[in-house]
Structure 1
Amino acid sequence: MKRIFVLAAVLFIALTASKNVNAQAPAGKKLLNIAFESGFPIGDAKDVYSVVLGGSLQAEFPISEKFSVTGTAGYSSFQPKSEFKDILDGYGFVPVKVGGKYYFGSNFYGIGELGAAFGTGEGASTAFVYAPGIGYSFPVADNKFVDVSARYEGHSVEGGSMSFFGLRFAYSFGF
């Protein structure tokens, strides 16, 4: 319930702020953003882990008016359910991804990224990672945006996969 309230508050603030700014689109702009990420494990991961928390930086370089190349790096951690906290630590990883972002409308976009997730725990390995998603950038000032996106992120690890559905709340600015 708390997560839903926070999401609603962020969306309300972004929408309210964006009404006071001349409509502008992030498409075709060189942007950098910093984000808070949260997600819900799915598949095999949901049996042991309760939530995914993290943060990331993303750079966006326009190729055309509607398409940009992206690069993303950060840190995330699958947090164990309460019944597993005594026997299991969180599963931390550093995802490094590249991809593309296509703007369907002025601020609505689809994004797809591929890369590697480097495990941070003892004996952790590197996994192939893929992340398709959709999002919307709300203008809040000249060349500044609040970016909200949802994505599926899958990690192909030895013996299975670690996947989650995630939400990303970012502050973007031109550089």
Structure 2
Amino acid sequence: MAAPAAPQETNAAAGEMVTLISSDGARFEVPEAAVRLSQTVLDEMKKDDYNAINGIPLPNVAGDVLAKVVEYCTKHASAAAAAINADTAKTSKEEEELMMKSFDDEFILVDNHMLYSLLTAADAMRIQGLMDLACQRLADMIKGKTSEQMRQTLGITNDFTPEEEEEFRREDEEQWL
């Protein structure tokens, strides 16, 4: 007996599409297998009043960001489908994993504004893989930096007085003694 997820992936491969609508009205036709990476979209599709023709509005995600999210989800859904059909795939599992890592590494090389927007979208759409990828990118950006360097990298204004900063430094030193 086949696993329950297989028919859904087969249907998506056969062309079932879901319309996602960004906050600025951009419409995206996305394979069902790709939108299944978003728990928020899945929840919307399960609602009694879901209408595929009207699409699913995503009021917290702008069109340019949704385009990137769709790119991510489509690529990852394709990779998952290839893994399921590994016996007919031309690439090995290891090669597929390397290709996905390469895709992710390139995909997440975006400016700070887009990175924050992707984090927000991944959170709003509940796409765990994208959230993990964006959080790791952010962590890599600030790893090993001083608080001042982190502020500069992230564009954060220092609103502490020199006295408050000195107090924080003393407290920090006392903790480690």
Question: Which structure's residues are more often helix, by fraction?
Answer: 2
Looking at CA atoms only, which structure, 1 or 2, has the larger radius of gyration?
2
Same fold (TM over 0.5): no
Larger RCO (CA under 8 A, 6+ residues apart): 1
Q: Shorter-normalised TM-score: what interval?
A: under 0.3
Give the TM-score normalised by the residue count of structure 2.
Answer: 0.22
